[in-house]
Amino acid sequence: MTSEQKRHVAFDWGGVFTVGTFDGRSTQNVADRSGVPVERVRDSYFRHVRQLEVGAWTLPKFWTVMQEEAGIPMPYGDFEELYLGSIADNAPMYATLAALPADVRVGLLSNNYPVVSDHLRRDPRFARFHQPVFSNELGHKKPSPESFAALEAAMGVPAAHVAFVDDVQENIDAANAAGFHSILYHHDHHAAFEATLAEWLNG
């Protein structure tokens, strides 16, 4: 059986390989460290975060704008360390990733940020992903059609042979529209997800 005939899988990162949202945890950590109300931190963060997601801004530029706008007394170096430290791994999903058969091609499509995407690529566990697609490098974010076209190209197999796993229904709908088989994920139901994925891969 060729790779185009086999079934494969691609994942989102945030909310799938992490527990909860990275944005929520990182903004809370910034508020806790700086003493600035979390509402003020999040107001500025979410106003500008798309600039990171599509690669229009560097992380230092993003922080300079946020720091001035929200009045956060924290140098960039401290912010970067805190930002990367806000990643909370979903250990069961990493175990699932490690257990996937070697002949299953594994993709990644993530709305992500400069510095964070580089940090993830340095993680030895990410060697299992076949040409990860990060929005900040692509210039488009999910649920855009361009994102899923890029994922299909990176996978090197037709979308119909790939299950796409995400924790956001809007992205699941977009993946379905792009021809992928999609699986909505929640970390509270990981065992059920594993059964669903196994059924897909073995179908």
Contacts of 25 (CB under 8 A, 6+ apart): 86, 88
Amino acid 2: pLDDT: 53
**Alpha carbon distances (Å) from 36 to 67, 93, 118, 148:** 11, 34, 28, 38
pLDDT of 17 above 50: yes
Mean pLDDT for the chain? 95
pLDDT of residue 1: 47
At residue 11, does pLDDT exceed 50? yes
Q: Which residues make Cβ contacts (< 8 Å) with residue 100, sequence separation at least 6?
A: 9, 106, 128, 201
| Residues forming CATH 3.40.50.1000 domain(s) in the chain | 8-20+88-202
127-150, pLDDT tens digit by residue? 999 999 999 999 999 999 999 999
CATH of 22-84, one of 1.10.150, 3.40.1000, 1.10.3110, 3.40.50: 1.10.150
The second-level CATH assignment, the architecture, of 8-20+88-202 is 3-Layer(aba) Sandwich (3.40)
pLDDT at 167 over 80: yes
Residue 92: cis peptide before it, omega within 30 degrees of 0? no
The whole-model pTM stands at 0.93
At residue 200, the pLDDT reads 96
Q: Where in the chain is the domain with CATH 1.10.150?
A: 22-84
- Asked if residues 58 and 155 have their Cβ atoms less than 8 Å apart, the reply is no
Tens of pLDDT, residue by residue over 51-98, are 999 999 999 999 999 999 999 999 999 999 999 999 999 999 999 999
